[in-house]
Amino acid sequence: MLGYYGSYDVVVCGGGTSGVPAAIAAARAGAKTLLIERVGQLGGQMNFSGPPGFAYAFLFNGRGEQIIGGFAQETHKRLLEAGHALPHLRPKWRGQFTFSYVDPDWWGLLVYEMMKENNVELMLHTMVTDVILDGNVVKGVVTAHPSGKSIVLAKVVIDCTGEGEVSYLAGAEYDILPKDQLEPSTVAFTVDGVDWDKVLAYVKSNIDDFIFDQVLLPYNGMTVEDIKKEVLKAESILDIGEIMGFEKIRVKALETGEWHGNSGIGFFLMPKEGGRVLAHFQHSSHVGNADCTDVRDLTYVEVEARMQDIIAWKCIKKYLPGFENAYITRVCPEVRIRETRRIICDYVLTADDVVEARKFDDVIGKSSFPVGGKHAVGDRALTLEAVRLPKDGGSHDIPYRALVVKGLENLLVAGKAISTDRPSHHRFLQQTTVTGTAAGVAAAVAARRGVTPRALENDLKEVQEILIKQGAILYGTH
Ligand SMILES: Cc1cc2nc3c(=O)[nH]c(=O)nc-3n(C[C@H](O)[C@H](O)[C@H](O)COP(=O)(O)OP(=O)(O)OC[C@H]3O[C@@H](n4cnc5c(N)ncnc54)[C@H](O)[C@@H]3O)c2cc1C
């Protein structure tokens, strides 16, 4: 039996890193907002299938200008004040690759507070299973939950499911690579009990074993050797931020069959109260040749990633200096998916737009993340050949049209499924907060005016003004 749940201005489907800010932004812009999430935990890749070792990165461009504010800035500031984040880490040698660490567990608690503060209604443990369509006009969604199935009506629906699931169900066009070319997926785990002095000493005395070129961003004008000199000056592991390499250990463990060979060895850092630091391994399983929109492949990935994690952890504990007494505090409850569908919208962001640091009249936010640099199964976590940055250490605009799903009315997409070509795939979480916020504000304005979000493409002034009031950075940077 299909019940009726309710009727809203804005329904956000998926409460991950784009859905959370989308719902808050829509509610702040005056919309009666419902956020529907498949599990009980809000946060998606931030703290359910994540967390990332760091959050957020790339809030600054290579010239040191802050280009991302809004939700990312607000949550970082609130957590910093509460002792659950670290100040922005932006040494020159990192170029654009700045870190703004927050404790993802506390982030996960804060966002529930923010839902209450802003009167966002939540519908948790609820799966969106279908879309209600009148021709090409989206009218709402069908949901499944412990008490059965119900319909939810909406003036505007925002697809924040990560995999573009709602857009797909609505019949949207999308792009996806053949599965042998998709980025691999990971079940991440976090460990405590690390002797960080020992790790730092090992890094410094084996500096050539570590990979710093992945953050060698040309704008900082430094060479790998310059960067190594800077790393040697580090007084704390937190000055380095991300540790990738342990090459001698990896090569030896491969020979003895103690490393699985699907990725490099490395980890990110996670701050905890009282200056405690945890290590977060988010590359130590890498399962490729799988399309995670196919349930058979998805199931295979969940199992295979855990098999790789078991091998990885045994190797880490046995061979990585400083990890002798470390222990796993958390294995993420589900796989973290890097890449599936990119939904086709009224504009497809291109690699040229990124590299040329292009500006658009319908700007809704910015990004300085490079094109390329995709994860692949193999010796190293990243393929670096095709990495290209926005020119002159700048950033590019994200156009609103890249969120307006082509051929359908009343449907916006935000997060990693927005409309881009493959090299410029916008999957980094700070980018997803930007597109989530913009979709939330645009949906609220469209709902209030009684127009479809597409009608705002040439009339975006009010949306942009509200975004700026909500802290977004739209103008005034390179
Ligand atoms: C292994 C890995 C490491 C990464 N590391 C970093 C990093 O270090 N830094 C960084 O910036 N980015 C990183 N990323 C990328 C980043 O975390 C994600 O791309 C980003 O968080 C995606 O945000 P999203 O909102 O699109 O999707 P998600 O955060 O995945 O949110 C989707 C939400 O929708 C819900 N959902 C899905 N389908 C339905 C449905 N039908 N009904 C209801 N709810 C549904 C899900 O439960 C989930 O909560 C990493 C990604 C991976 C895979």
Domain ranges of the chain: 2-177+339-370+385-469, 181-331
Distance in angstroms (rounded) separating the CA atoms of residues 456 and 468: 17
Q: Given 3.30.1370.60, 3.90.1580.10, 3.50.50.60, 3.10.180.10, which CATH number is that of 2-177+339-370+385-469?
A: 3.50.50.60
Q: What are 176-222's pLDDT values in tens digits?
A: 999 999 999 999 999 999 999 999 999 999 999 988 765 555 666 78
Output the residue whose Cα is nearest ligand 1's atom 4. Answer: 52
104 CB near ligand 1 (under 6 Å):
no
Q: Residue 107: is its pLDDT beyond 60?
A: yes
E strand spans, 348-395: 363-367
Distance in angstroms (rounded) separating the CA atoms of residues 4 and 142: 9
The answer to whether 97 touches 234, Cβ cutoff 8 Å, is no
Distance 42 CA to ligand 1 centre (A): 11
Q: What was the pLDDT predicted at 216? A: 52
Q: What was the pLDDT predicted at 106? A: 94
Distance in angstroms (rounded) separating the CA atoms of residues 409 and 412: 9
Q: Residue 380: is its pLDDT beyond 70?
A: no
Q: Residue 412: is its pLDDT beyond 70?
A: yes
Distance 112 CA to ligand 1 centre (A): 18
Regarding pTM above 0.85, the answer is yes
Among 207, 42, 186, which Cα is nearest to 110's? 42
Distance in angstroms (rounded) separating the CA atoms of residues 229 and 367: 29
Output the residue whose Cα is nearest ligand 1's atom 35. Answer: 14
Q: What are 56-106's pLDDT values in tens digits?
A: 778 998 888 999 999 999 999 999 999 999 888 887 777 777 888 899 999
Output the residue whose Cα is nearest ligand 1's atom 49. Answer: 44
- Give the percent of the chain with pLDDT over 90: 77
| pLDDT, mean over the chain | 93
Instruction: Give how far the C-alpha of residue 133 lies from the chain's centroid of Cα atoms, to the nearest Å.
Output: 29
Q: Residue 53: is its pLDDT beyond 60?
A: no
Q: Residue 378: is its pLDDT beyond 90?
A: no
Distance 295 CA to ligand 1 centre (A): 17
At residue 275 the predicted structure's pLDDT band, cuts being 50, 70 and 90, is: confident
More confident residue, 448 or 56: 448
Atom of ligand 1 nearest to the CA of 36: 43
19 CB near ligand 1 (under 6 Å):
yes
Q: What are 31-40's pLDDT values in tens digits?
A: 999 999 999 9
Among 106, 64, 115, which Cα is nearest to 85's? 106
Interacting residues of 470 by C-beta distance below 8 A, sequence separation 6+: 25, 28, 29, 70, 71, 437, 441
Output the residue whose Cα is nearest ligand 1's atom 12. Answer: 428
Query: Strand 148-159 vs strand 411-413: parallel, antiparallel, or unpaired?
Result: parallel
Q: What are 318-356's pLDDT values in tens digits?
A: 999 999 999 999 999 999 999 999 999 999 999 999 999
Q: What are 12-27's pLDDT values in tens digits?
A: 999 999 999 999 999 9
